Structure 1
Amino acid sequence: MGHDASVSRIRQQAVVVGCVLAALLAMAGLFVTDYGIDPTTWLAGAVTAFLLFLATLDPWLHRHRAHGLSTDQHLDTAAEALAVALHSQWQAECRTRGLAGPQLLDLRWTATDLPVSDAPPAQAGRSDAVVGAFERQAGRRMVLIGEPGSGKSTVAMLLTIGLLDRNADGQIPVLFPLSTWDPTSEDLRAWMTRKLYEDHPALRNTELYGSYTADLLIERRRIFPVLDGLDTIPANRRAEAVRKINRAVPPSAPLLLTSRRAEFAGAVAEAGRIPGASVVELQPLDHEEVAGYVRASADAVTAARWEPVFLHLRDEPSGRLADTLSVPLTLWLASQVYGTGAAEPTELLDRGRFPDRAAIERRLVDGLLPVLFDRWHGGAEADGQLVTPGQAERALAYLAGQLRARGSREFAWWELRRSVPPVLLTVLGAAALGLLSAFGVAWLMTYASSPKLAPATGLGAGCVMAARTVFVSTANYRARSARQKSGLWRSLLLSSLVLGTAVGLVFGALYGLDAGLVVGLGLAVASALRFALASSAELTRASSPKATMARDRAVVWAGSLVLAVVFGAASALVFGPYQTGMVGLGFVSGLMLGFALSVQSLRWWWFTVARAWLALRGRLPWQLMAFLEDAHRRGVLRQAGSCYQFRHALIQDRLADRNTSASRDELNV
């Protein structure tokens, strides 16, 4: 977001209040002549007072009085706040996934029979006592393996919540989905540090937590890594992942790693075992557990329709249907698909239609979305449903296909821009902002003193804005802006002073000293607001896609409103404060230009452009974030920090297959 999140919450609020007061003082300066006060003197005093106010709050100017590297006290404070945020995040996710009610399956594991363990055989355990089972492991190092859908991620999440509840030894369990880690190009500790900063940007708050907080939390073993999904790393990189895990997490440090059975065995055969780690394997559900889960989660009528299936499971405990329903994921899918009465679970007994496990899984995944999105279709307005079941299926299939093309299991909203060709995205974004700027300037000039210059002025402003938009959208600029700013540009005062002075001098030369003071003050206020609002000072708040987007939007609208006030005030100075038409026109023109200037380098703008383009093509709904949240609430997606994931790779892969088929059909047409 440009600046480090280096201001505390109190300082952040003080900056916002000070900016509001400065804007009000500037507006008051337009009318002080009625009381015999020189407006130039008033405005100059307001500018000076605002700059002195920023100087007292600027953390960069007072950096020598601040701590350097995070101290133990800093790390204790950060760890405590991080634990609160993580506990809130995973508790909410647990409730959303339906893992907090009486229908929760009690998952069981035993020591694996594969020759992959580097410790004595572990004792059997259950998910309802996962913390105690983990604590009994020698060195608290465990690898949890199992078949796809057997509940590995669920156990990892329950363990994370349980350890956060205890918080006994000062180590904070952090669940890291491994799907975004490339072990061939990044060390595990560096990757975990980057993920902490991405999901919890308030860790960069040097005023509260010192410098390099996340780095030191990792380096000093204050973070207990819960690494979920070794199998989500591409096959040719898994062995390297195991090697780097062994180097980054020594045998004396606690560790939980999850993986599919075959994938883990293959990686260990090439890279060696995890030192000191016991390897346990999740066991399949038996027919009594299957029947108990269905009866607990369904009403009496629905449960009665399952009775022939229960009898079949008892008679053929090793059959294709028993093998499929012994997996928690497919059992959940079946309970959803056949929970409304629209289809009969006895259809699964048809060996002709469903000869093997793969056929049953395809049927269940294909039936999931129509059921989940049609369940409350009759009450769409009250329930907040945004799309029809067919539209939801097409949108999710498109997203699944995009994730497959990138080789990813996580959808970050700011990555939607990658679904649009870069040149097209840049042209669309630059054209939109250029046209908006051209219209705002030309409209204002049409009613100003030089209406003949309106077309040329508007065209020039639009071209400048479009050119700047193209510049900030290039890969090199994004790479530069992604790095922390250093030196003067980390200063709240100096960055505001430079911008305000530069623009104020131009306007002062064109329209007089008063106009220059108003515009300069307005730009300084906008810069200070952007600095403050782009900072994330609340580490205790749970990370979410909505929260990360809200920071970008706050910067946009704050900058837009400030420049609207600036142009309105400048119009009042040029044309008189009682020319309400021109003041209003200046306000609207400033709102347009403020929006264009604010959004250029923000992820939210490029997400919005990509979303609009894909919505126009019928790929995604217009209210994409609301749709994704709705899909998360219905159980199709799950949330991991600031990103979304499909509930399971089986669902994502099946939808991606359907997206490929749909794309092929479009090409044929």
Structure 2
Amino acid sequence: MGRDLVQIQVMDGRQVTDTDRAARRLREEVRKRVGGEVARRRLEHPEPIKVRWSPSGRPVQSPAVVLGTGNLTRQGDVTQVPEFFRSLPRRQLVVLGAPGAGKSVLALLLARELLTSWQDGEPVPVLLSLSSWRPAVTLRRWMARRLRALSPELDKRTAQRLVDEGKVMPVLDGLDELPVALHARAVQEIETAVAEGVPLLVTCRAAEYESTVEESGDFLTRAAVVELESVEPEAAITYLEHSKVAEDRRWDGVFKALRRAPKSPVAAALSSPLMLDLARTAYRAGSTDPGELLTGKRFGKRREIESHLLERYLPTVYAESSDTRYGPEQARRYLTVIARRMRRDGTFDFAWWQIDSLITGPLVGTAYGCVWGWFFSLLFGPVVGVIAGLLSGACGYVAYAAVRSGRKQVYIAKDALHGPRATLLRYGLLGALSGLVVACVVGVVVGCWLHVAVHVPAGTAWVYGLLVGAGLGSATLLGSAWGAYQLSRAWFGLTKRLPPRLMRFLDDAHELGVLRQTGAVYQFRHARLQEQLSGGGRPSKGSILEAEWDGRWRWKPLLPFVPAATQFGFALMGLSIVAMVSYMASSGVSLDHRSGSKPSTSVSSLCNNDATGQTCHSIRTLTWTVPAGSSVATELGASARRSVSVLGLGGGMEARGCAKASVEVGVRLKGHAARPVVVTVGQRDPSGKGRALDRALRFQGELPVSVTLRRLDREPCDLQFAWTEPELTADIYAYARSRFGVPSAD
């Protein structure tokens, strides 16, 4: 139980297992793919560029006596690498070189040659790009996954057995495409995973590999190291001579210049395999004139020649590929937008969260404004709703802009285990989680508040709580890094500046070699191309990952939640201001003497000391004298420019000046009497409880208020009755109650 069954056959005296048959099928699949890639890149039309290599002089390998390379060929060109590789005692090799030196082409040609001469029992060379690997996943497990992608007929167990039994030769291209912080760990894992006797090829940029060895001390101890050189003028002439038709004399002037001045700008430009291939393609047509590269005024410097050839780079790459979905002009337009984003942010990295259109911020603010504006218009009417919507929308936009300006909405650790597509998915989940949390919290709070404060029936209150919560949750999702990317991507897609499916385009450009993937970001494989497309100076040396946040901030893993918290907090702050103003404007209507017994009026000041200084406001008090055994009648007037729902009387009442005396306060408004209030000397009634009308009264404009003060005691003294800040209390939720069909509060 639990053991794998392996079928074994004997052919020609040799045991053949299921794994052997799987290796044969894998070899056929990989050979077709590699052959197609060689043909697509036209590497043999007419022949590969004779890029020279020699043992690296950098301190990055074991001594020759350990490697057993003392008596081996010390140099050659790319066509001789297979022979050199087979002669290595341990058959493990690291190929270093500058950007554009031809490392990937060498790996491709070596894999093709080894696959062609492959024999049963030998490991199958499989070309794998290291950009999608992270050392947190073992190399063997990752290789097994990639084998299943290359050969869908392989099941999981068979793919893993192929790797574990040493029947796969890893040809690992682009160690430098891993995040810098992972280089040492990757080298350690490769050293451990590749068993003794299993062939191996690794390519890497020379400076990055040397830096890794120098800083960590880790290197591939069983691997010889060679380094690619620049293309010599004679090799460049031979390549171009063999690429043109017979009797074509257009290149003669260039050939003479290369021989006469091997250090001239044109010779320096054509020393790169990339530029040499571009030159061949650019001047393939008989109507073109390669002699223009010798024009001093136009092409007097190497950079000017390279810029001219780079202009033809994208049309060449995309025109020659039959697999790409994008035309040369499309690709150039899209990549130009990307390069300009990188120049704007001052980095050589490109990440999906850098896509930010001008309309995204306003749309996020509008989402907040619409939700809060609708809710406040439901509570206080359209005027307050518009004000609330504008203020909360503006606050949401300001918060979004503040977060985006510093790119403080995404945190990617230097040892990120996931590539761009996986990071986008994870931030989509984080955005959805933030939106869900906001929706739940707001929905519960709004539902409870409507039920308790406005007396909306529970079912209706929860429905509106759900609507408000869902709206704000959606606004929060739009304001997240993932939501902002989706809005911006859609806008750029509608305006034809980026493809509708950006990640697919980036993957396509990566497959074509235009971009290289480094962790969660992309980079232009050739920095000069980024410079060319951005229309600016040389690309910055900064990384967007380093610019995200000061590394000393220990809470930076919480960075993904900053946009939601900031935008939601700013919106709440704006709404608090609206609610405060609305409450202050609707809480009461002041009363003044109009006729009848006239009270004395006094004004006092009440001051408070706080952190901002001393704050004072005035307090108005009306005082009546009520003789013993009598009553006093007066009429007060109230005026309001708005329609209000009056619930009763407000302000503080106090009786003084006559011990054991008490007075009954009676109030009538338009024939509706408030509940009588009895005020006794020495007792203060500041709360106003018991001063409500028998029912709420709606009025607008002038309203007379009849007040009767009647003594209830027989004390032979005059009583002083003081009413501080006399007012009519208003129901600030009257509008909401009417909208919800709830009777006005008693």
Greater fraction helix: 1
Specify the structure having the higher radius of gyration (Cα): 2
Give me the TM-score of the superposition, normalised by structure 1.
Answer: 0.50
Greater fraction strand: 2
Give me the TM-score of the superposition, normalised by structure 2.
Answer: 0.45
Greater RCO (CA < 8 Å, at least 6 residues apart): 1
